[in-house]
Amino acid sequence: MSKVYTSAVVIIPPEDEWILIQQIRKLYDWQINRWMPHITLLYPFRPEHLFNKILGNFKNTCKNITSFNITLKEIKSFTHGKSSHTIWLSPEPIELIKELQEKLLKIVPDCDDVNKHVKEYTPHLSIGQLKSSKDDLSKIINQIQENWKPIVFLIEKIAFISREKEKKSRFQIKKEIFLK
């Protein structure tokens, strides 16, 4: 089966928790208009026209996974070369998200691209991209961290999202699948 960069499986925080996240993203995230705040589980994913065909397998898997709380409290970064960085919120406990992703990946094992970044799957909620020195990166992370108030929310569902192929199209929730 094929996979496309216009769809993904994600965890989306409740909208009432977006305020602080979006304030930071407005400053640093050039993808703010394409993606809602999210933690990627599978990307790229199946084309939207195949969602109904695979939905049953995801429902069967998710009904055996108990909902769980996570906390977004620490700001971290990935470095992509000398001066290119992604800043992100680290969800805790990270192990529960990794287990969820591992179970979903068994349904669509070829949708494992996120497992190849930085050697393994690292659950994260991106809040920006920076072109800066390591010193400037540290200053920005420290500044964000000082003003950050941890967010706790229940992961009780995952979402299939997709967007049109047009350059400026936005991802939209197409299917939601609840955990136990």
* From 12-16, 32-36, 112-116, the region with the lowest mean pLDDT: 112-116
Residues 156, 180, 49, CA angle at the centre, nearest 5°?
Answer: 70
* Cα 40 from Cα 70, distance rounded (Å): 14
How does residue 118 score in pLDDT terms, banded at 50, 70 and 90? low
| Global pTM exceeds 0.85 | yes
Please say whether the beta carbons of 111 and 105 come within 8 A: yes
Encode pLDDT of 30-74 as tens digits: 999 999 999 999 999 999 999 999 999 999 999 999 999 999 999
Domains, the chain, ranges and CATH?
7-178 (3.90.1140.10)
DSSP one-letter string for 54-91: HHHHHHHHHTTS--EEEEEEEEEEEE-SSSEEEEEEEE
Question: How confident is the model at residue 1, as a pLDDT?
Answer: 76
H or E element, residue 52: helix 51-62
The CA distance from 167 to 147, in Å, is: 34
Q: Are strands 84-92 and 68-79 parallel, antiparallel or unpaired?
A: antiparallel
CB contact at 8 A, 140 and 75: no
